[in-house]
Structure 1
Amino acid sequence: MRIPLSWLREYVDVPADETPERIGERLVAVGLELEEIVTVGGEVTGPLVIGRVLEVEELTEFKKPIRFCRVEVGPEHGHPDTPGVRGIVCGARNFVAGDVVVVALPGAVLPGDFRIASRETYGKVSDGMICSERELGLGDDHNGIMVLPEGTAEIGDDAGPVIGLGDVVLDVAVTPDMGFCLSMRGVARELAHQYGVPLRDPAEIDDLPAPDAGTPHECAIDDLDGCSLFTLRTIVGFDPTAPSPYWMRRRLVMSGMRPVSLAVDVTNYVMLETGQPLHAFDQRKLQGAIVVRRARAGEKLETLDHVVRTLSADDLLITDDRGPIGLAGTMGGLDTEIDDDTVDIALEAAHFTPAVVARMSRRHKLSSEASRRFERGVDTVLAPYASARAAGLLLAHGGGRYVGMTGVEAPREPVTVEMAADLPARVAGIDVPRAVVVERLEAVGATVADPDADVLVVTAPTWRPDITDPADLVEEVLRLGGYDAIPPTLPQARAGYGLTESQRARRRVGRALAAAGYVEALAYPFVGDADLDALGIPADDERRRLLLLANPLSDEQPGMRTTLLPGLVATLRRNVGRGTSDVALFEAGSVFHLREGQQPRGVTAPPRPSVAGRPSHDDLTALTGLLPEQPLHVGVVLAGNVAPAGWWGGAQPAVWADAVEAARTVAGAVGADLQVRKGAAPAPWHPGRVAELVVAGAVVGFAGELAPRVCEDAGLPKRTSAMELDLDAVIAAATPVVTATGVLTFPVAKEDVALVVASDVAVSDVEAALVSGAGPLLESVRLFDVYTGEQVGEGSKSLAFALRFRAPDRTLTVEEVGAARDSAVAAAAAAHGAVQRA
């Protein structure tokens, strides 16, 4: 919501010396979000004056229409040879002699550092420029010159204050619970609270004449649940050529809206002013009474955006005898729109149920300024007051006769909420006297029945549909007092209520991967067929069974992810595409697997427990049973180099072993025993450069290179490596309790052995045999060399291991070390046919 301060000051007396920054701080204090402060035309400097076009000479000898104009700019601004007058070349066609315009004189600088100077062009000397709105930074309209109404200002006056240059606009983000601030009225009310000054409510402006002779257009409501109030005011004899007043067009532009015509501009202006959306119909295009009802089977409507929409039975419509003429609270129909020939107007103002408008807007993927306001809740009684304000403006500037108003209203009970008088103090932990509580509730427009009662009975204002329970009243009391008045207090965690061991393990994993050089990437958990196609995942793969969202953010990604790789791959591709060649990313997050028998669309009508209290155990069990399995996974992806080139040597490229090492880092962080072994892996892994990750005998993931075709299809660098494992399974198999050992003072005995085995024997299997055979004296074993060649023969390889032996209570003898080494080699020979090289 863009708030021009000059407009805002009409409704609330903000101190004249208050800066825009301070006003913005006041709005932030009451819960709004200040995006930016904009000074309209702030880049314009130099002489800018009001001028009048005296003569227009058409220059016809050029390829495009060019005009040479003599413009009166006042005696003090004229050219020395022609006092009070300047000659200006202009290509615009929307003005004539006698029009009042804005003239930038030589020396002026317009937005974009466009400097105005006297220069010869098209055979004439152009001594300035006649300006459009866009050239002055006032708006996007560049269709022609800005023509001001007669009498706007004196010729030669400074144009800045007249056209709004220097006016300040606050760009405010309105949170969903403060929809009443999508209007000047709502924001002005908040500032009136803050400065302790009265509000001049624009909804109370009544300049509508008494109804004239005639019969107003009839209206009716068939669905009081969707529409609780509907009014229709009729104006006849309206002048469709009447222009919108300049001040109105200027305020619309500063508020981010484009002026269209007087009828459209007035409805938009009053909507911005009061928060009540309005719609004007061409009455002559209506057939019969206007009726608000639900859609019927097979009905269609072409809306103002020229889209023919197939309607649903849940859609709330504005109709006449022919059928639908508008989507209630969202957009009107094309057949009854206002045009250049409209002389009779039927002005609609209504109150529609927020949920009905919100669902209809999302169903048709059609969001408008009106639907944004109705979705958040509009004042339930405002419609006739806002339409009276709009009708008065239409009659004042477009002429015509006011015939009268018809309307229908459903019975309405005021919303009352009971709240203990001391509840705000107990919630905030600060002293909030009863008198202050009552004063602040009344400041937001609520009525307190008995201010001295222990339990206050509060009637919510009609413009606050968000106030429905005591917590809402507490929020209002504390909000008006300023959230910064509540001292920050760190909660004290009770013994046994800290992080669980699983939560601590997850944090250790993140810290360990970050310390290893990985950067955490948080991707959206949504995927689609294209994401899985890029990874080469076959159609019958279990990872294709996605839990589908009822209302996805994107039609291309309608499901919840079953693997972390699509998000990591997309993030890697984006970074590489932007010039970052060396990338190492990790993510820890949930994946979603359908349970056995669970359908992708889930349950169409899940149970809805009452909000009056905590759901029962049976309700919670039933709801939990509808959820998919959501194990926590961790994944990494690497491309480029893990170490750069330098004086120390060449670069070290990322390889599949780095992905395997990331898995070991994860296991080490949680205290799990991870085994890495060769195995067959599904897509997207390279069939010969991938390892199975095993914990407690179960495969929990894979690490290695991605398949070349996957790298090509996904737009990744060649030899990209990745890892993904089930972190929940790893944590469950971990041994979090670490037993500390004393410092070993006895020397270590070092033995190296080289074993020749068949080339298809896994290193991990040989290592496991050495460990089992060496016995308790073996402290560590490490592979330090792999050799293949003529010396070991075809089909064989030599594995060199460093064995380290140590006893905790003595120095080992040569005989003890030799026996342990020989036992280890014998175990490897028995298990895998290993032969020790000389």
Structure 2
Amino acid sequence: MRIPVSWLAEHLELPADTTADTLAEAFVRIGLEVEEVAHLSQVSGPLVVGRVAEIEELSGFKKPIRFCRVEVGDAEDGERPTQGIVCGATNFSEGNLVVVALPGTVLPGGFEIASRKTYGRVSEGMICSAKELGIGEDHDGILVLPAGVADPGSDATELVGLDDSVIELAITPDRGYCFSVRGLARELSNALEVPFGDPASMHVPEDERASREVRIEDESACSRFVFRRVTGVDPTAPTPWWMRRRLALAGIRSISLSVDVTNYVMLELGQPLHAWDASKLTGDVVVRRAAEGEKLTTLDDVQRELDPDDIVICDESGPVSLAGVMGGASTEIGAETHDVLLEAANWDPASIARTIRRHKLPSEAGKRFERTVDPAVAPVAAELAAKLLVRYGEGRIAQGRTDVGSPLAPAPVTMPLALPDKIAGVSYERGITARRLSQIGCRIEVGTSDEGVGLVTAHPPTWRPDLKQAADLVEEVLRLEGYHTIPSVLPAAPPGRGLTAAQRRRRAVSRALAADGHVEVLPFPFTSDEVLGKLGIGEDDPRRRALSLFNALESDRSQLATTLLPGLLDSLQRNVSRGQRDLALFHIGQVVLPAQQPPAMPEVGVAQRPTDAEIAALDAALPAQPTHAAVVLAGKRERQGWWGPGRDAGWADAVEAARTVARAAGVELTVAAGDLLPWHPGRCAELKVGDVVVGHAGELHPKVVEELGLPKRACAMEIDLDALPLEESRPAPSISSYPPVLLDVALVVDEAVPAAELVDAVRSGGGELLEDVRLFDVYSGEQLADGKKSLALALRFRAADRTLKQEEATEARDSALHAAESRFGAALRA
């Protein structure tokens, strides 16, 4: 909302040195968001009032162009000096007063006015619009001043309000009362501790006679409806300049006196008004919901099909207004309207909000109605608007006032007097709570509970329906006392606390994968049954048993992920589509694995804290949510260059990523042949810790790669981190300073023998002296019998307390070979 500082100051007793920036700081201090403070004094140079003496229409151009002679100075010898100015606006005529920027004037934005030749004429200045002067957004035409407001040549700076400032605020939905000068001035009064004059405190005379009979059929739609009638209004009467200027500074375009008055009162009091041509209404007025199939032509000349949820105002002919949103064309104020009926009503905020969005009709009035409007101010607003029409439109207030409906007062709220102190951790002065609540308009009652605790009961004012619970009252006290007075102290961490073992393991795994050349990504955590199907996961697979969300962010991904692979593969696909070919991505996150028959979720009320048994039941009803680590690879694992051709990523790299995770977690991983989609059945490794399967790694199935559009021979690994045993104590490794004995062996075994199992056999047979076994070559060919393969192993032997002898190393090697022979029939290759 845009509001001029001068308008706010009219209702406050501000010190003389108060500036717009001071007011903006006060707004921020009490919790209102200030978007901009616009100082309008950005115009320098000769800005004067001019009278249009002569207009010459120039032809031969694509748009209307006028050459005007404008009087811009005092009369000399009976004649006023004139300036020739070229102008493209057409909303003024000869004799009108306008604002003229003479050569040398600098307008907002650094736009300097100079004498220049254009359209074949010399233009000696510019006739200005409200937007060019920085006092409004209206750029449809130039700013025409009322007749007699000033003499030609007089300074226009103060006249148009360029000595003022405008504060623009972003009003939150719970503070609808701040969409008015009344509400904002009251807030400033509380923030600056200055007296406030309520513009709604005017006297409204009693009148039992109705202006027009009104019947409210749906009281949930309309809580109050007021009519006030003004007759004999001069439809040609101009809007007074002071009102036009305030509306312009607030960002509202002047239209006519009747419309301008309703807009002015809306800004002043926060109560939107609607002006009817009373002569066009027939019969009694009924407020109801629209019937199915009803239509209404609104003021924008659009015929709209109404929804049964829309609130409409009807006469004998049917709907004549879309309540709270836009009036109907049939009762519009026109150029011949003398009989004006002013409507001030209070509508259901939710219904108005839905109607605005349904018909795409946002407006200043709707903005206020959907945030709630003070029902008590309706008769005051109608009376003020009527008096303005009498004063400036030469009308007469007709006898009678319609005022129907019975709005409910906000319910009282009780809280302990010391609750704000407890919440903020501040000892406020005695009486602060009652004083601050009184400042916002609450009627206060102070008492004591049966336990001797001081209580305060606040009866919220009609303009604060948002005050519904003790927390709302606490917020009011704290914000008016100033959030800056609340100490910002970090709580001390209790000794002996820190990261849990699981948290330390997760960080260790993340660092290890990153150090090994993998890049961490945070993919979308949701998936769909269709994506799981593309991964080849069968209907009976537990991973297809996913939980669906009712309020999914994306309709095509409405399931909680049971595996990390869909999100990671989506990230891989996206990077490949953007030109990245060599990728090694990883993600550590939770998956959701619901039970086949999950227990029913217990119903727990909100009136009090759940019991321990209820909390336990809630926890038991939650699905398992283990933490997984996953890796996907594509393209080159080792890049090519002058050092060599590079190497493509393969299934072995996925297995090595799993080993990296296991080493970081401090566990020993066993690798065996596996078969699980979406992995290739012949290139899939089953990852075990002991006898427990904790994950899989390998090359993805070709059909999955084709279905998802992934790079050929893409690989992946996924491991359940929570299934890995936690090692609370990790002793430092002992490093021997004695030299090792290195021996290489080549063992011939059947092609079906897994290399990992052969390595395990050699390691177990080598005893304590065998420090490491590494597979460095696999061969099968003419030199071997059919169905055989040769595995070359590098063995490293070392003793922790002495220099190892060759004989000891050879004996340990022979023991390792014997174990391999016994288990797999392995033989040394000749």
Q: Which TM bucket (shorter chain)?
A: 0.7 to 0.9
Q: Tell whether 2:187 aligns with 1:185.
A: no
Q: Secondary structure at the match of 2:376?
A: coil
Match of 2:809 in 1: 817
Among candidates 698, 722, 725, match of residue 731 of structure 1: 722
Distance 1:556 1:739, change over 3 A: closer
Partner of 2:411: 415
> Residue in 2 aligned with 1:156?
153
Residues 1:439 and 2:438 are matched in the alignment: no
- Three-state SS of the structure 1 residue aligned to 2:182 is helix
Distance 1:288 1:816, change over 3 A: farther
CA contact (8 A) 2:519 2:585 kept: yes
1:730–1:569: structure 2 CA closer, same or farther, 3 Å change rule?
closer
The residue type paired with residue 196 of structure 1 is: E
Whole-angstrom distance in 1 between the partners of 2:741 and 2:135: 84
In structure 2, do the counterparts of structure 1 residues 635 and 7 end up closer, same or farther at CA, with 3 Å as the change threshold?
Answer: farther
1:237 Cα offset (Å)? 5.4
Q: Distance in 1 between matches of 2:496 and 2:362?
A: 49
Q: Is the 8 A contact 1:217 1:346 kept in 2?
A: no
User: Who is 2:50 aligned against?
Assistant: 51
> For 1:260-301, what per-residue CA distance to the aligned partner results, in whole angstroms no more than 9, with x for missing partners?
655555444444433334445555665654444456666677
* Mapped partners of 2:427, 2:255: distance in 1: 53
Q: Given residue 814 of structure 1, which amino acid in structure 2 is its aligned partner?
A: Q
Q: Report how far residue 436 of structure 1 moved.
A: 2.3
Query: Which residue in the other structure is 2:227 paired with?
Result: 232
Residue type of the partner of 1:730?
A: L
Q: Deviations over 1:624-677 (max 9, x none)?
A: 788776555566778999999999999999988877776666555555656677
1:786 to partner: Cα distance: 6.8
Q: Is the 8 A contact 1:241 1:340 kept in 2?
A: no
Structure 2: distance between partners of 1:686 and 1:369: 63
**Other-structure match for 1:455:** 455
Structure-2 residue corresponding to 1:12:
12
Mapped partners of 1:584, 1:258: distance in 2: 60
Kindly tell me: are residues 68 and 176 of structure 1, through their superposed partners in 2, closer, same or farther at Cα, counting changes over 3 Å?
A: closer
Please give the alpha-carbon distance, in whole angstroms, between the structure 2 residues aligned to 1:221 and 1:387: 19
The one-letter amino acid paired with 1:482 is G
1:122 paired residue among 119, 122, 135: 119
Amino acid corresponding to residue 230 of structure 1 in structure 2: F
Give the unaligned 5+ runs of structure 2: none
* Alignment match, 2:141: 144
CA distance in 2, matches of 1:539, 1:342: 76
Alpha-carbon offset, residue 216 of structure 1: 2.2
CA contact (8 A) 1:56 1:69 kept: yes
2:73 aligned partner = 74
One-letter code aligned to 2:128 = C
1:191–1:768 Cα change, 3 Å: farther
3-state DSSP of counterpart to 2:57: strand
In the alignment, does 2:172 pair up with 1:172? no
SS at match of 1:382: helix
Query: What's the counterpart of residue 385 of structure 1?
Result: 380
Q: 3-state DSSP class of the match of 1:198?
A: coil
Asked if structure 2 preserves the Cα contact closer than 8 Å seen for 1:185 and 1:202, the reply is yes
Q: Which residue number in structure 1 is paired with residue 28 of structure 2?
A: 28
Q: Distance in 2 between matches of 1:446 and 1:387?
A: 25
Letter in 1 for 2:374: D
| Cα displacement (A) at 1:199 | 1.5
2:102 counterpart residue number: 105
C-alpha distance in structure 1 between counterparts of 2:68 and 2:575, whole Å: 55
Q: CA deviation at 1:31?
A: 1.9
SS at match of 1:381: helix
Distance 1:472 1:267 in 2: 33
Q: How many angstroms apart in 1 are the aligned matches of 2:318 and 2:717?
A: 57
Tell me, in whole angstroms, the C-alpha distance in 2 between the residues paired with 1:516 and 1:270.
69
Q: 1:59 to 1:670 in 2, by over 3 A?
A: same
- Is contact 1:706–1:719 with CA below 8 Å preserved after alignment? no
Per mean C-alpha deviation after superposition, the further-off stretch among 520-529 and 273-282 is 520-529
Give the Å deviation of 1:821: 4.1
Q: Which amino acid aligns with 1:738?
A: S
Deviations 1:469-491 (A, max 9, x none): 33332222222222222223333
Distance 1:772 1:426, change over 3 A: same
Q: Distance in 1 between matches of 2:787 and 2:231?
A: 99
Q: CA deviation at 1:55?
A: 0.8
CA distance in 2, matches of 1:639, 1:785: 23
- Does residue 488 (structure 1) correspond to residue 485 (structure 2)? The answer is no
Q: CA deviation at 1:57?
A: 0.9
Partner SS for 1:449: strand
Task: Give the conservation status (yes or no) of the 8 Å contact 1:450–1:456.
Answer: yes
Residue range with higher mean Cα deviation, 5-14 or 234-243: 234-243
Q: In structure 1, list runs of 5 or more residues that go unmatched.
A: none
Q: Would the alpha carbon gap of residues 54 and 227 (structure 1) be closer, same or farther in structure 2, given more than 3 Å must change? A: same
Cα distance, 1:192 vs structure 2: 0.9
- Root-mean-square deviation over aligned CA pairs: 5.3
Residues 64-83 of structure 1, C-alpha deviations (whole Å, 9 max, x = no match): 4322111222269x9xxx98
Q: Distance in 1 between matches of 2:277 and 2:713?
A: 64
Asked if the contact 1:746–1:806 (Cα under 8 Å) also holds between the matched residues in 2, the reply is no
Q: Distance in 1 between matches of 2:21 and 2:211?
A: 48
- Preserved CA contact (<8 Å) 1:75 1:85: no
Contact (CA 8 Å) 2:633, 2:716: kept in 1 or not?
no
Separation (CA, whole Å) in 1 of partners of 2:41 and 2:569:
45
Partner of 1:131: 128
User: What amino acid sits opposite 1:221 in the alignment?
Assistant: I
Distance (whole Å) between structure 2 residues aligned to residue 724 and residue 360 of structure 1:
52
Q: Pairwise mapping of residues 354-369 of structure 1 onto structure 2 (< 5 A)?
A: 354=349, 369=364
Matches within 5 A, 1:677-696: none
Alpha-carbon separation, structure 1, partners of 2:328 and 2:642: 73
Task: After superposition, give the CA deviation of every residue in 1:225-275 in whole Å (9 maximum; x if it has no partner).
Answer: 454333333445556666655555554554455556555554444444333
Distance 1:191 1:93, change over 3 A: same
SS at match of 1:434: coil
- 2: CA distance between counterparts of 1:660 and 1:222? 73
1:202 aligns with 199
Structure index of larger Rg:
2
Q: How many residues align?
A: 818
Q: 1:495 to 1:322 in 2, by over 3 A?
A: farther
Residues 4 and 254 of structure 1 are in contact (CA less than 8 Å); yes or no, is this contact kept in structure 2? yes
In structure 2, distance between residues paired with 1:619 and 1:382: 48
Show the counterpart of 1:740: 731
**Which one is further off, 457-466 or 244-253?**
244-253
Percentage identity across aligned positions? 50
Of residues 321, 326, 332, the one that matches 1:332 is 326
**Aligned residue runs from structure 1 range 250-329, under 5 A:** 250-252=245-247, 254-256=249-251, 263-280=258-275, 283=278, 288-294=283-289, 308=304, 311=307, 318=313, 329=324
How do residues 508-657 of structure 1 correspond to structure 2 at under 5 angstroms?
596=596, 610-615=605-610
Alpha-carbon distance, 1:740 to partner: 0.6
Q: Is the 8 A contact 2:686 2:693 kept in 1?
A: no
| In structure 1, distance between residues paired with 2:220 and 2:329 | 27
- Which stretch shifts more, 589-598 or 785-794? 785-794
CA contact (8 A) 1:686 1:708 kept: no
Give the partner amino acid of 2:140: N
Alpha-carbon separation, structure 1, partners of 2:16 and 2:422? 38
Q: Distance in 2 between matches of 1:74 and 1:649?
A: 87
The residue identity in structure 1 corresponding to 2:225 is: F
Structure 2: which amino acid aligns with 1:34? V
- Hey, what's the Cα distance between the residues in 2 that align with 1:794 and 1:150? 111
TM-score under structure 1 length normalisation: 0.78
Seen in structure 2, the aligned counterparts of structure 1 residues 232 and 669 have a Cα distance that, compared at 3 Å, is: farther
